[in-house]
Structure 1
Amino acid sequence: MSKVIITYNKMLAPYYRRFNINVGKRLFSTCYPEIETEYYCNIKNCSEIKQNINQRKGVGSLDHVLELYHILKTTSTSANSYENVKKDFYKELMLLPNRTHPLVQQYGENPVTVTTLNEKKDFGIHKPLEFSEITEFLNLMRTDRLGYTCDNKSYYYFGELAEYEEALIKYTVSSLLKKGFKLVSVPDILPSAIITSCGMTVNSDRTQIYSLDPILHGPDLYLSGTAEMSLAGLFKNTLHSSDKLPIKLAAVSRCYRAETSNVLDERGTYRVHQFTKVEMFIVSHPNLSDQMLEYIRKTQEELFTPLGIHMRVLDMPPHELGAPAYRKYDIEAWMPGRNNYGEISSCSNCTDYQSRRLNIKYNDGKTDNYVHTLNGTACAIPRMLISLMETHQQAKGKIEIPEILQPYMNNKKNIVKNTVMPKLKLLKIKH
């Protein structure tokens, strides 16, 4: 019986559990990832790579990579100097973005609408309320005066809204299990090597990653922004038999984001510092990754359509992809109270961007090659609740629960005003 071999940070070992994924043999890690230097350092590809960098928000510097590569190949230096240059070379090389799907390269600045799902609800003369107005009226949420417990961009759900969150999680997980996904419980604290290998940055001015105090908690520890990072890290330094691919995993986790926004459309709980999300993650044979991306998108559509919310599916342009993605779909839901669309999920094909950095391979019976990794949001709770509550609000102050979710809500058909939890008033304490 083959098993997963975990070879990175020993501190994480207690968090992981074995599950039935067949993996062949241990792969020993190397000091540097096997990124395609024959492509990125070939002068013939300069124009193509620079164009891709420009389209992808100017991430990374090819000129700096080539300069360091030239030093490594032509300059005689001491062993220490050579090693320092080599470290800088791979550090810069890892910053370069993934290639972009040829079709997506033609999109310019705007996404392409793939399809729309469900019709917009007609409220007639009734003006739909925003999520924050609904939850205030029904006494279901608190977002202000949280100084005793947490910072801004946080929230409490009360009563049936908290039940609604659990119902969405149970519905999503149940649906994914029926589709053959394996459920994994993941750690929320990770080392930087896992996070950066997945394409995120740490300890920079623009980072979205929370870092833990190195004096109090130990060096090199960070809060995970998505279960994708932990799931990808689980496979670090592993070799898979090609006939066991694809491997489909799902995880429910708390996600931590340091990002903030003053954009009006992202007010309230649309963008928060921590939230619950159900994530899909697939390890695929390279020849099947395009097909697997469509499979994830179809799975998302099948999950969201029965919820009765109006959506549009977008094929995103290069500047929206982020460094790891080769192609990415977003699904935006109509939020009637806000009178606007809001992103509720995305799915990406990262090809071998993450697998090269994490040393994840498959064997086809002859040679070892890098797998492709894909990820997709199955349910991001705060934004899903915004769309559901705003879409299914009634004029008399109750919220209809979609029929498919009712079994996960003790067969309740409506959410009504919370009278059990009193409205809380903070007392001013005199020192």
Structure 2
Amino acid sequence: MLGFTRIQVVKKCNILNLTFYLKATHQKLHTKSKATWSIPTSIDFDEQYLCNPDNLSAIKHNIENRKGIGNIALVQELYSKIKLKDSSDKTFESLKQEFQHECALIPNKTHPDVMAYGDNPKVLKYIGEKPKFDFKHKDFHDIAKRLNLMRNEHLGNLSGNKSYYLLGEMAELEQALIKYFVKNLLKNKFDLISVPDILPRNVVESCGLNTRGDRTLVYTLDPDVHGPDLCLSGTSEIALAGYLGSETIDQKYLPLKLCAVSRCYRAESSSVLEERGIFRVHEFTKVEMFIAAKPDQSDEVLENIRSYQEDFFKQLDIHFQVLDMPPHDLGAQAYRKYDIEAWMPGRDMYGEISSCSNCIDFQSRRLNIKYKAEEGSTRYVHTLNGTACAIPRLLIALTETHQQSNGTVNIPTVLQPFMRGKTSIARQKKIPDLKLIKNKKS
């Protein structure tokens, strides 16, 4: 299920109208009962900031630090040309379109504290203790194979490279993690939404992701078969942001806290040994947080998201470090981003299991998400997002951390109620081992 009732592709304007219904959360979300995603064709960029010659040097420096591709000098040149043109001039519209295109390539501002980090993240804290073993501990792949918990080999003819099956109690552990994180998010007053996985290209790009070229991480559907400009979602952040597109929210409902469970699709790959197995895959399940806030709330909200993440992971009895990421790791959209990396003893390394970002008004300007202030004026919200749980890497950290000398894997106490009271995972005996059989040529 993709999480919506009906999809109608409107080819004329290349906009995907998604109609889906929430349960009792409608009254809490204070949005219309049917959501039609209408993304503005002309974006209200912050011209006062971008087109001010006094900001040229600072913006150029920001682009270089973030390893971006935008050309702020060209943006300001085009802006000056437009100001000299009459709207009736035959070149006026083409200049405006070029201006919009170049503005869209400029990355977000960067938090002043982060600008000083150079190329390295700042370690903010370590939480939990690294596990100590009195036996030769193994990595996730070896443990899962020995206990018959996963299959990710010989799947080329079935589901392609970087795909996998979780079996028996490992599949149960996946579902337990989802239930654990959703329960805690609802406890912290998030509203749960089931989201679509097929999204219009302009919604994806409005959130700051590149969908074109050889280096894109986004899967695009065949336009000849499925209609123009449709993509598979890489994170439910995009669908949640799109859900609020062209909405004006009363400020009394801010911060508006949403969450979703979705399948995520990433066209990325790696041949690095440390990223073998399910560390980097083409599809996985993720629990995501998305918050719309007033500008004067967003710094505090980002700290709140990080606090939720730290608390949730701490209860799983894993060791992890919290990083404040440098400019070149912020992508196009983030103003500030924290990463959480769990210790994976079988790999003898830290691996990213979560992140959270404050995108200030980067996404809201592109998606036209506003709030109504007390005096009646409308302003752009700040959008923030955070991964509550990305399943595959968290399974790696849990399995490698809680492995026992007898070959079993202990289940963290907080997950046991979602595992029918089980306290450990042993070898799966009911699920047969699958072996590759090569047919002999006659």
The two structures have a TM-score, normalised by structure 2, of 0.92
Q: 1:300 pairs with 306, 309, 332, which one? A: 309
Residues 179-198 of structure 1 aligned to structure 2 (within 5 Å)? 179-198=188-207
Partner of 2:106: 96
Residues 210-249 of structure 1 aligned to structure 2 (within 5 Å)? 210-249=219-258
Deviations 1:389-410 (A, max 9, x none): 0000011110000011000000
Partner of 2:386: 376
Does structure 2 retain, via aligned residues, the 8 Å contact 1:27–1:238? no
Q: 1:330 pairs with 335, 339, 351, which one? A: 339
For residues 82 and 395 of structure 1, the distance between their equivalents in structure 2, rounded to whole angstroms, comes to: 73
Partner of 2:5: none
Bigger drift between 91-100 and 227-236 goes to 91-100
Per-residue deviation, 1:34: 0.7
Q: 2:77 pairs with 67, 71, 75, which one? A: 67
Does structure 1 retain, via aligned residues, the 8 Å contact 2:286–2:387? yes
Distance 1:205 1:64, change over 3 A: farther
Deviations 1:356-383 (A, max 9, x none): 0000111112211000000000000000
SS of equivalent to 1:233: helix
Distance 1:388 1:370, change over 3 A: same
Partner of 1:108: 118
Structure 2 unmatched runs, 5+: 1-9
Tell whether 2:30 aligns with 1:22.
yes
Distance 1:222 1:16, change over 3 A: farther
For residues 224 and 406 of structure 2, the distance between their equivalents in structure 1, rounded to whole angstroms, comes to: 54
Q: 1:146 pairs with 127, 152, 155, which one? A: 155
Distance 1:232 1:28, change over 3 A: closer
SS of equivalent to 1:204: coil
Deviations 1:40-91 (A, max 9, x none): 1111101100110011013312123223223322356975532222112111
Partner of 2:321: 312
Bigger drift between 363-372 and 287-296 goes to 363-372
Tell whether 2:13 aligns with 1:13.
no
SS of equivalent to 2:297: helix
1:238 partner amino acid:
E
Q: 1:287 pairs with 291, 296, 300, which one? A: 296
Bigger drift between 55-64 and 91-100 goes to 55-64
1:13 partner amino acid:
L
Per-residue deviation, 1:256: 0.3
For residues 53 and 39 of structure 2, the distance between their equivalents in structure 1, rounded to whole angstroms, comes to: 29
For residues 265 and 91 of structure 1, the distance between their equivalents in structure 2, rounded to whole angstroms, comes to: 38
Q: 2:350 pairs with 333, 341, 345, which one? A: 341
Partner of 1:171: 180
The two structures have a TM-score, normalised by structure 1, of 0.94
Bigger drift between 304-313 and 197-206 goes to 197-206
How high is the sequence identity, in percent, across the aligned residues?
53
SS of equivalent to 2:239: helix
Q: 1:82 pairs with 73, 92, 95, which one? A: 92
Q: 1:42 pairs with 52, 57, 64, which one? A: 52
Distance 1:185 1:149, change over 3 A: same
For residues 400 and 155 of structure 1, the distance between their equivalents in structure 2, rounded to whole angstroms, comes to: 22
Per-residue deviation, 1:263: 2.5
Tell whether 2:418 aligns with 1:408.
yes
1:133 partner amino acid:
D
Does structure 2 retain, via aligned residues, the 8 Å contact 1:154–1:274? yes
Deviations 1:131-159 (A, max 9, x none): 00000111111111112321111100000
Q: 1:272 pairs with 281, 305, 320, which one? A: 281
Deviations 1:266-299 (A, max 9, x none): 2221110000000000010110000000000000
Distance 1:162 1:34, change over 3 A: same
Per-residue deviation, 1:183: 0.4
For residues 77 and 265 of structure 1, the distance between their equivalents in structure 2, rounded to whole angstroms, comes to: 57
For residues 153 and 82 of structure 1, the distance between their equivalents in structure 2, rounded to whole angstroms, comes to: 48
Structure 1 unmatched runs, 5+: 1-6
Per-residue deviation, 1:114: 1.1
SS of equivalent to 1:286: coil
For residues 206 and 332 of structure 2, the distance between their equivalents in structure 1, rounded to whole angstroms, comes to: 11
Per-residue deviation, 1:9: 6.9
Per-residue deviation, 1:30: 4.5
